[in-house]
Amino acid sequence: MSDPTERDTATKKRLMEMAKVWYDQMNNGEIPSITLPTRTKYNIEYDDESEVWKYGDKESVRNAGTAKSATHMLKMAYVIWFIKTQLQENRSSTLREMYYISEGWKQAKFGAQNESNYLIEDLEIITAMQREFFHMRPEEDGASIFGPIRIRENTRRGMKEIHCQDDVGEAGYNIPNNVENVELVDHDASCVIAIETGGMFSRLQENGFDEDYNAVLLHLKGQPARATRRMLKRMNEELGIPVVVFTDGDPWSYRIYASVAYGSIKSAHMSELLATPSAQFIGVKPSDIQRYNLPADKLTEQDVSALRAELTDPRFATDFWRKEINLQLEMNLKSEQQAFASRGLDFVTKEYLPSMLSEIGVLKR
Residue 248 is labelled as binding a ligand: yes
Give phi and psi for 267, each to the nearest 5.
Answer: -125, 40
Beta bridge partners of 63: 33
Complex with a copy of itself: residue 181 or 287, whichever CB lies closer = 181
**Interatomic CA distance for residues 114 and 121, integer angstroms:** 11
- Among 6, 17, 59, 170, indicate the residue that binds a copy of itself (CB under 8 A): 170
Type and span of the H or E element at 298: strand 297-298
Report the SS3 class of residue 314.
Answer: helix
Nearest by Cα to 116 from 95, 142, 145 = 95
Give phi and psi for 115, each to the nearest 5.
Answer: -65, -45
Min dist. Cβ of residue 141 to a copy of itself (A): 4
Residue 196 is labelled as binding a ligand: yes
Q: Does 238 bind a copy of itself (CB under 8 A)?
A: no
- Among 48, 49, 57, 103, indicate the residue that binds a copy of itself (CB under 8 A): 103
Q: Is 100 a known active-site residue? A: yes
Q: Does 3 bind a copy of itself (CB under 8 A)?
A: no
Min dist. Cβ of residue 176 to a copy of itself (A): 4
Complex with a copy of itself: residue 165 or 236, whichever CB lies closer = 165
Residues in contact with a copy of itself, counted by CB under 8 A, come to a total of: 58
Min dist. Cβ of residue 60 to a copy of itself (A): 31
Q: Does 160 bind a copy of itself (CB under 8 A)?
A: yes
- Among 117, 165, 228, 253, indicate the residue that binds a copy of itself (CB under 8 A): 165
**Interatomic CA distance for residues 34 and 75, integer angstroms:** 13
Q: Does 181 bind a copy of itself (CB under 8 A)?
A: yes
Q: Does 175 bind a copy of itself (CB under 8 A)?
A: yes
List the catalytic residue out of 23, 99, 100, 257: 100
Type and span of the H or E element at 76: helix 67-89
CA pseudo-torsion sign 198, 347, 307, 315: positive
Min dist. Cβ of residue 132 to a copy of itself (A): 13
Min dist. Cβ of residue 153 to a copy of itself (A): 4
Residues 184-203, interacting with a copy of itself (CB under 8 A): 197-199, 202-203
Spell out the SS3 assignment of 84-121.
HHHHHHCCCEEHHHHHHHHHHCHHHCCCCHHHHHHHHH
Q: Where are the beta strands (DSSP E) in 200-261?
A: 215-219, 243-246
Burial of 36 (0-12, 13-18, 19+ CB in 10 A): middle
CA pseudo-torsion sign 18, 24, 26, 31: negative
Q: Does 111 bind a copy of itself (CB under 8 A)?
A: no
Binding-site residues from annotation for Mg(2+): 196, 248
Contacts to a copy of itself by CB under 8 A: 91-94, 96-98, 100-101, 103-104, 137-142, 144, 151, 153, 155-157, 160, 162, 165-177, 181-182, 197-199, 202-203, 205-206, 208, 211, 295, 336, 338-342, 344-345
| Residues annotated catalytic, as ranges | 100
